[in-house]
Amino acid sequence: MSAIVLESTITCPECGHPKLETMPSDACLWFYECEACHMLLRPKAGDCCVFCSYATVVCPPRQQSSKNCCGH
């Protein structure tokens, strides 16, 4: 089993602003506000969190299994 990655770059789909963030290790993040344009990001359909939708690395719970962290 490989190590869990906690840092991921999330990119706003509206303005393209990237930001390196530390993900929570035990929870989904359902909302994220872009610091540049203030758009409120929500997960895309079928994704459990904003990191799974808009970031370079999926969330830690999803890294640990093939399912979405909310059980889908």
pTM assigned to the model: 0.84
Question: CA 19 to CA 66: how far, in whole Å?
Answer: 26
pLDDT tens, 7-66? Answer: 999 999 999 999 999 998 877 889 999 999 999 999 999 898 999 999 999 998 888 876
- Check if the beta carbon of residue 54 is closer than 8 Å to that of residue 11: yes
Enter the tokens of residue 43. 């997960």
| Residues facing residue 8 across a β-bridge | 21
Domain map (residue ranges) of the chain: 7-64
